[in-house]
A and B are shown apart, each in its own frame.
Chain A
Amino acid sequence: MPPSLDNLLRAIPAPLLLGLGGVITALVAGTVAAWRPSKAPSSAGRLQLQARMKSWWVIVGLLTAALALGWQATAVLFAVISFLALREFLSLAPARREDRLVILLSYLTIPASYLFVFLHIYMFYLVFVPVWVFLATPALMALIGQTRGYLASTAVLHWGTMTCVYNIGFIPLLMLVPRWDAPQAGATGLVFLLLLATEANDVFQFVVGKLLGRRKILPSVSPNKTWEGFLGGWILTTVLILWLGPVFTPLKGAGLWITAAALPPAGFAGDVTFSAIKRDLGVKDTSGFIPGHGGVLDRLDSLTFTAPLYFHLLALFALETY
């Protein structure tokens, strides 16, 4: 092994290498399962699963590359993800033709928010979207002069910028945590556990629901979700966080238990909230951007709820930085 690569590997915290190894093992297992010999090699379900696995490799590859390159690359990647999510949201949501200007301007919340990330001005980040964009948007729309459907239109823009821009931006903010404040696996470890736990919660809920699901939990919003899946996912994800939390983050004691217990229902809440929005709009997926998955928002729904919660619990219980 050349010395530079050796040094590079030494510089990466051991938990991260093991975590990446675990994710890749899961991907390989999923890929083998999706391509195993079958009696119906081109059935729709199988092709969908294969497309889904291919997209997972791309998602994991992009995230790994960005996290490995550091906080700047991670911030750029999540800025692009915020943009794609906001575009999907604004495309689906009801809008009036004269809102086009405000829609164009709402995209500017992304460079503005991420500028505060790049400048490490946490206090500005915290108030920019929820206070200043919150006030500026309805004021601008009043200046445009169309009052019919006014309140609903402002709500659409608020909801879009809060979930797609503000809440997602907590992930690059976590990446700014210095190594001394998260000695277990650095800032990357904090982000890794958030992404892993959020995604694992989705998967656990789905699998437990498939295996044991009987009683529907929210039939009018998300007909496939069951109490068994929700509770099973909650228990399994809590165990996962209790196990891996101390490996990847400085969480311990009450902070660890509260995070482990609170994150799974937050993920569930994000999932069903976006399900309610999609049902209201009459669409199954938010777009076809990610083959086998649907839209960017379909993948991001739980994360828009878990990211801010996880950030604030870490800030409250474990981090000096925030």
Chain B
Amino acid sequence: MGWLRLALLILIARPLARLITGLDVLHAERLPQTGPAILAANHASHVDTWLLLSLFPAGTLARVRPVAAADYFLANPALSWFSRNVVGIVPVERKRIERGADVLAPAKAALAAGDILVIFPEGTRGADLDHMAVLKPGVAMLASEAPTTPVIPVWIQGAGRVLPKGTWLAAPLTCCVVVGEPLFWTGDRASFMTALRGALEALAAEAPPLRWSDRGTGEQL
């Protein structure tokens, strides 16, 4: 099925992303071309995954796999087939965290196999377009077990306007992906997460401005 995924991503997803969002990239040269590596991005829309999968050349793309919630993306057979065979997700069972199971085992295995993982540390799509939610520590757990694996912070600007949470029709609007310098495991979770958040905020400041005022405020006008 690998060929189907590559064909759909390269022949359909990428040209469509370029038409609908422009697919602007700042610092594309910082994208890893070999695994193992982790991309840690902000998350405002399903468009995020689509954009990140559209940035890689065919040779690398087979290795790029988004880490995604099993309860959402494997919920029904059609979505599950699409998530596994086209998006190429590494499923993580969010609901089993409380039971102390190693929910990150599939992600660890993928890294060990040399994959490039895409992780959204906010855990779910943010409802607020302008602010990142609290970052969950899953990415730190992965980094601590593989301290030589680069964690590349990625800021995606504008995806939340193209397809906000709760809508189904994508509005063509420019998006910009800003790729950061790789981070490595710092030795403790708190400092690693602070470094990641700081890096993402710095990348956000580098992105072109978004003038999209929230409901009822209209202050930016």
**What is the interface of chain A, defined by CB distance below 8 A to chain B?**
83-84, 87-88, 90-98, 100, 103-104, 107, 146, 148-149, 152-153, 281-283, 287-289, 295
Q: List 6 A-B contacts (CB under 8 A).
A: A87-B172, A87-B174, A97-B215, A287-B24, A288-B22, A289-B24
**A121 to B: closest C-beta gap in Å:** 26
Partner of A97, one of B20, B208, B213: B213
Cβ contact of B221, chosen from A88, A94, A107, cutoff 8 A: A94
Are A287 and B211 interface neighbours, CB within 8 A? no
Once bound together, how far apart are the Cα atoms of A289 and B173, in whole Å?
12
Shortest beta-carbon distance, B159 to chain A, in Å? 12
Number of A-B residue pairs having CB atoms within 8 Å of each other in the complex: 80
In the bound complex, CA of A98 to CA of B213 (Å): 9
- For A288, what are the chain B residues with a Cβ–Cβ distance below 8 Å? 22, 24-26, 176
Whether the Cβ atoms of A91 and B158 lie closer than 8 Å is yes
Judging by beta carbons under 8 Å apart, are A95 and B211 in contact? yes
Given A97-B215, A148-B218: A107 and B172 interface contact (C-beta under 8 Å) = yes
Which residue from B19, B173, B215 sits with its C-beta under 8 Å from A98?
Answer: B215
Residues of B within 8 A of A153 (CB): 221
Supply 15 further A-B pairs (C-beta < 8 A) apart from A97-B213, A104-B169, A148-B216: A83-B19, A84-B19, A87-B20, A90-B173, A91-B22, A91-B173, A94-B212, A94-B220, A100-B161, A100-B164, A100-B167, A103-B173, A148-B217, A149-B213, A283-B208
Question: Which residues of B line the A interface, CB within 8 A?
Answer: 19-20, 22, 24-26, 129, 158, 161, 164, 167, 169, 171-174, 176, 208-209, 211-218, 220-221
* Interfacial chain A residues near B218, Cβ < 8 Å: 96, 146, 148-149
Q: By the criterion CB–CB under 8 Å, are B22 and A94 in contact?
A: no
Partner of B174, one of A88, A95, A98: A88
The answer to whether B221 touches A152, judged by C-beta atoms less than 8 angstroms apart, is yes
Q: A156–B164 Cα gap in the complex (Å)? A: 21
Q: Is the CB of A281 within 8 A of B216?
A: no
Q: Which residues of B contact A100 (CB under 8 A)?
A: 161, 164, 167, 171
Within the complex, the shortest CB–CB distance from A112 to chain B, in Å, comes to 16
Could you tell me the distance in whole angstroms from the C-beta of B214 to the nearest C-beta in chain A? 6
Check if A104 sits within 8 Å of B24, measured CB to CB.
Answer: no
Whether B22 contacts A88 by the Cβ 8 Å rule is: yes
The reply to whether B220 and A87 form a contact with Cβ atoms under 8 Å apart is no
**Which residues of A sit under 8 angstroms from B211, Cβ to Cβ?**
92-95, 281
Residues in A neighbouring B158, C-beta threshold 8 A: 91
Kindly report which residue of chain B lies nearest to residue A90, judged by CB atoms.
Answer: B173
Q: Which residues of A contact B215 (CB under 8 A)?
A: 96-98, 146
In contact, A104 and B213 (Cβ under 8 angstroms): no
Which A residues are CB-close (under 8 A) to B173? 87, 90-91, 103
Rounded to whole angstroms, the CA-CA distance of A83 and B19 in the bound complex is 9
**Contact partners of B172 in chain A: CB under 8 A:** 83, 87, 107
Q: Which residues of A contact B26 (CB under 8 A)?
A: 288
Determine the residue in chain A with the shortest Cβ distance to B25.
Answer: A288
A194 to chain B, nearest CB (A): 26
What are the 4 closest A-B residue pairs judged by CB atoms, nearest first?
A: A149-B221, A91-B174, A148-B218, A94-B211
For A285, the closest partner residue in chain B by CB is: B208
CA distance A283 to B167 in the complex (A): 29
Write out the residue numbers on chain B whose beta carbons fall within 8 Å of the beta carbon of A146. 215-216, 218
A82 → chain B, closest Cβ, in Å? 12
A209 to chain B, nearest CB (A): 27
Distance in angstroms between the alpha carbons of A96 and B215 in the assembled complex = 7
Q: What residues of A have a CB within 8 angstroms of the CB of B216 in the complex?
A: 146, 148
> Which residues of A have CB within 8 Å of B214?
97
A209 to B161, CA, bound (A): 40
How far does the alpha carbon of A146 sit from the alpha carbon of B20 in the complex, in Å? 27
A198 CB to nearest B CB, Å: 23
| Chain B residues positioned under 8 Å from A97 (CB to CB) | 129, 164, 212-215
